[in-house]
Amino acid sequence: MADLELDLTAPNYETALITLGVTGALHYGPYGTALPEKMADPAAPMVDLGWLSDSGIAESLNQERSDWKPWQATSPQRGQITSEEATFQATLWSVGGLANALYYGVAEEDMTYDEASGVTSFETGAKLPEDFRFCLSVTVLDGKKARRYLMPAASVTERGDITHTNTDLVGYELTFKANFDATSGFAIRREFKEGWKPGTAGSTLIGGSAKSLGDWSTDVNADSADPEGPGEGE
């Protein structure tokens, strides 16, 4: 049998398809805010949540399914996904008012600001926290490439520990869940601007990721009056 070789010139070996989450942002908006479309900049009342930890943004897609094995078979012949949950996790390093509202589950109207002292205060524990819903936009950038996840009814489902030390930044680790929104008709809309098209292989960004230091092959003496250079004894 002939030796098999990989064809590294095939469309799906285009280096432009290799993506790195170089940077990005989380944007918050009150429930009912119109979501941006086609990678448009999020507009007010959406607001950027600011600095995130260097762990970036992690996406998880969790599915549960049931499988049924007939009496006459040795393996399942029917399966069905019974639930699906998409979550995004990030640690906020800009721990301003909105970060505290999200972490502690306290609405703006339940916070009190004292002008004279500059102190903001709120109380918790008298009742169970509410399950607040809000719009959330997740944007990931890699040069000219971008992907975005838009959630019309996100909620905070998990909160990490807050540590106060002199060696680490204070961060609010939050897990956001994409809930189904009946008004919008979806839980999450995903947008990709990465050079690929449905039903095709490869990328429209061919060669876009390869950078060069230039052509250094020109002889430095090519334009001199004496292309031979100085002779022996000169």
Give pLDDT tens digits along the chain (234 positions): 578 889 998 999 888 898 999 999 999 999 999 999 999 999 999 999 999 999 999 999 999 899 999 999 999 999 999 999 999 999 999 999 999 999 999 999 999 999 999 999 999 988 888 899 999 999 999 999 999 999 999 999 999 999 999 999 999 999 999 999 999 999 999 999 999 999 999 999 876 556 789 899 999 988 765 655 555 555
Tokens of 134: 């809000």
DSSP structure class, residue 187: S
3-class DSSP state of 99 = helix
Tokens of 40: 């448009």
CATH class of 11-66+78-193: mainly beta
Omega before residue 30 within 30° of 0, cis:
no
CA 136 vs CA 49, 53, 103: distances in Å = 10, 18, 15
pLDDT at 95: 96
